[in-house]
Amino acid sequence: MNIVTILRNCPAYQRLELLEYCAEQAATTEEVQQILSVFEGDADPIVRHEAVAQLLRIERNRPHLIAPIQELVRVALVKGIQDKSVVVRHEVLETLAYFGDESTLAILQNSIGDTEPDVSSTAKLSYELLSFRLQHNLRACELQNALLARLSVC
């Protein structure tokens, strides 16, 4: 299934809903890469936001589909920090906490200075989450369980 072709001629509200469906049905890395191309190329910021959210969802639930293109996703997300849309920048920063590596910490730290308070706040939380994930050598799919385990210790 070619997601980009399917979505190309749909209104934004349909692209938004169908993008979620395509992410749920994605069974190959190629289909996930098509979702990444929606993020990189859709004109509507809400659709781009949703594409990022779906990439994170796939990473959490089916990381084997993301693994071959994880670096491509990370690079696209880093570029997405420059998006004009606040909602896209917010989602990109949040998602980088799950896809980022050591070099991403400096990028997140720089974004803490964003003029938009929501973006700045998201960058701070994402920095802290990525720091925790890296410190404990966790993959995105392991993060929730690790945090839940810490709650029972507190």
Is residue 91 predicted with pLDDT exceeding 80? yes
Residue-level pLDDT at 6: 72
Q: What is the pLDDT of residues 30-82, one digit of tens each?
A: 999 999 999 999 999 999 999 999 999 999 999 999 999 999 999 999 999 99
Confidence of residue 142 (pLDDT cuts 50, 70, 90): confident
Which residue matches tokens 């799950």? 98
Tell me the three state secondary structure of residue 138.
coil
Distance CA 100, CA 71 (A): 9
Residue-level pLDDT at 147: 85
- What CATH number has the domain bearing residue 108? 1.25.10.10
> For residue 107, what are the domain limits?
3-153
Confidence of residue 1 (pLDDT cuts 50, 70, 90): low
Tell me the pTM.
0.89
Distance CA 111, CA 121 (A): 9
Our count of domains for the chain comes to 1
Tell me the three state secondary structure of residue 82.
coil
